[in-house]
Amino acid sequence: MKASELLNISGINEYKIKKDFDVAGLSFDSRQVSSNYIFFAIKGSKQNGHEFIESAVRNGAKLVVCENDADLSLSGFEIIYTANIRRTMAEISCNFFGNPSSKVKVIGITGTNGKTTISYLIKHILEFAGFKSGLIGTIDYISKSGKKVDAKLTTPDSIEMNQFLREMADNKMDFCVMEVSSIALTNYRVHTINYDTAVFTNLTSEHMDLHQNMENYFSAKQILFNTLSSVSFAVSNADDIYGIRILENIICESNYYSITGYSDYKAENVKLSLSGLTFDLYLDDIIYKIKSNLTGKFNVYNILAAISVCRRYGIKTENIVQSISSFSAVKGRFNRITLKNNAFAIIDYSHTSDSLKNAIEAAVEIRNAEYPNSRVITVFGCGGDKDKTKRPVMGQIASELSDIVIITSDNPRTENPQSIIEDIKKGIKNIKNCMEEVNREHAIKKSLELSKIGDIILICGKGHETYQEINGVRTHFDDEEIVLKYNELIP
């Protein structure tokens, strides 16, 4: 596609290309630029793209896009100024790749917790029913059957996003199931995406370093639902106050799901165990017995959301129920390991105050039902260079709900790990059941050494991650591998 045509269909009509060219690609990373590329000089929180324009031009960029406030003395290339470069990049990306989200049904899932499990569960049900589905999320990007790419971000940038959607369309995918983060929504990563269905899970304190307050956080999530057309569909959690609000002004059909409140999809008679969960769902004058290998009340919500979405696409409820029973937990999402001493280790990604609370409460509920004389031992930390307000809150939650707490490192990044631990301890009123071990491997080892038959060791924060980042350097670290290593040493 000629640059002049691409700009025209993207609504940039005031700029006339002096020397037209066939656009070969788009990038905001000068290292990825090749001949006949358009380079977007984005000013980020850590780097200013203006500093890499010369490098991009040397690598073959024929056109540079930057924001209006750019003060550049460079010459010898064509440049476009725009008021919102991220929005412009999304619009140009969409058109360069042929508006791919109009070729597949896109299901967007947003909220603080539950996005990953819901996305994999929906994908599983769709494929069980015979559809082809891609996925974009925290763990993987899947653009065709059998091809997985490790995710760099929960929701990729707009160029990569449209590229993946183009691959899905070319591979005849029927659906794309996508996790949509608040950062992606505010940074225009998903601007121009046509969502056929949107799902809201819940909203609890997270990313306050970015959003400052809960109302701003909610407004960011609301962007997704404001994009829905009259023929779209929306699903939300009726047991969450923000879940009620987010559907108040939408123009499309919608459903609510719940455990306690009134909704279209309400779980009754919920029963949880280490081996799974069951509940009843009353639909169309029929009581469906839902059985899943997943456990925890939070997974009841996740299953309800997936059922609501998949019924929207005409899949028979009986087939949905059957497919749910064959679904296994996503890596790092409340994964259970039976230890040699008949205690249990659970690996979970819970890294927000609410997800930590949900995980511990689930462990306590299961413990009370199956092993009433055993203990819940929680191992957790908080990430560095991120929202600091949640640290004392998570300390309070862990200490009040757990029998034993071991505070350790997560990904300290550029922060001092001990300083993060001190922030966590500020929320702890009763320190007697808490200990600290800054070395995460040693903390996990200690939890196994403390465990007895029936105890549940809840290892939180990293889940599927296979690295630990310290002083900007990532080294291999897998919670599950550490558990299995020291499990062999248990007498």
Instruction: Please give the average pLDDT of every successive group of 10 residues along the chain, which has 491 residues.
Output: 94 86 96 96 82 91 85 70 94 97 97 94 97 92 78 84 95 96 93 97 74 86 95 97 94 97 96 95 96 95 98 97 95 93 95 91 93 96 91 96 97 94 94 95 97 96 93 93 92 72
Burial class of residue 69 (count of CB atoms within 10 Å of its CB; 0-12, 13-18, 19+)? exposed
Beta strands in 296-421 (DSSP E): 335-338, 344-348, 376-380, 404-407
Q: Which amino acid is at 414?
A: T
Return the CATH number of the domain spanning residue range 3-96: 3.40.1390.10
Crossing angle of helices 297-312/115-128, nearest 10°?
Answer: 40
Domain over 100-325 is classified CATH 3.40.1190.10: yes
What is the maximum span of the chain, computed from C-alpha positions, in angstroms? 78
Q: d(Cα 56, Cα 37) in Å, to the nearest integer?
A: 9
Residue ranges, CATH 3.90.190.20, the chain: 335-487
Tokens of 333: 């999402």
Query: Whats the size of the chain, residue-wise?
Result: 491
The architecture that CATH gives domain 335-487 is Alpha-Beta Complex (3.90)
Tokens of 305: 């959301």
Q: d(Cα 364, Cα 221) in Å, to the nearest integer?
A: 31
Q: How far is CA 95 from CA 25, 98, 134, 191, in A?
A: 12, 5, 21, 12
Buried-state track 242-279, b at ≥16 Cβ within 10 A, e below 16: bbeebbeebebebbbbbbeeebebbbeeeebebeebeb
pLDDT value, residue 414: 93
Residues 6 or more apart from 46 whose CB is under 8 A from it? none
Q: Which amino acid is at 390?
A: K
Residue ranges, CATH 3.40.1390.10, the chain: 3-96
The secondary structure of residue 184, as a DSSP letter, is H
Residue ranges, CATH 3.40.1190.10, the chain: 100-325
C-beta separation of 471 from 443 below 8 A: no
C-beta separation of 407 from 424 below 8 A: yes
3-state secondary structure at position 292: strand
